Amino acid sequence: MRNYGIFLKGFLAAAVLVLPASALGHHSFSAEFSRDLPVEVTGTVVRVEWMNPHARFYVEAEGENGETVEWDFELTTPNILMRQGWSKDSLQIGDTVTVTGWRARNAPHVANAGSVVLASGKRLFTGSAGSDD
């Protein structure tokens, strides 16, 4: 039994070393975003990041005072997005989109995207934890 304890400790230490850093940094929806802070933004896609643990895209839109604001929209993992019908080409730089979602609790222009509507009218669902879709 004594050797089993040593083996278990060694196994756990090795598991922590190989665990991806992204898994350690994952957060729940409500830790960062609030369902009480809905947002709808229409603007132009300026950047798309298709990577784990969350894909992201950035939209330039008109702010409350008429200034240009860059919004940072978090999506779910690329794997879940692909199950929702997305591909790396679903959003292109220059696309006009309307995004509905939920604002971050502590950042004014960061949100979790619930759905994205392209200028063509095509609606992309995100599989967001904040969404009922």
Domain 27-125 has CATH 2.40.50.140: yes
Average pLDDT over residues 11-38: 60
pLDDT grade for 130, boundaries at 50, 70 and 90: low
Residues in Cβ contact with 103 at an 8 Å cutoff, skipping those fewer than 6 apart: 33, 34, 37, 38, 39, 110, 111
pLDDT in tens, 28-86: 666 678 899 999 999 999 999 999 989 999 999 998 899 999 999 999 999 999 998 89
Q: Give the single-character DSSP code of 120.
A: T
> Which of 4-8, 38-42, 53-57, 117-121 is predicted with the least confidence, judged by mean pLDDT?
4-8
Domain residue ranges in the chain: 27-125
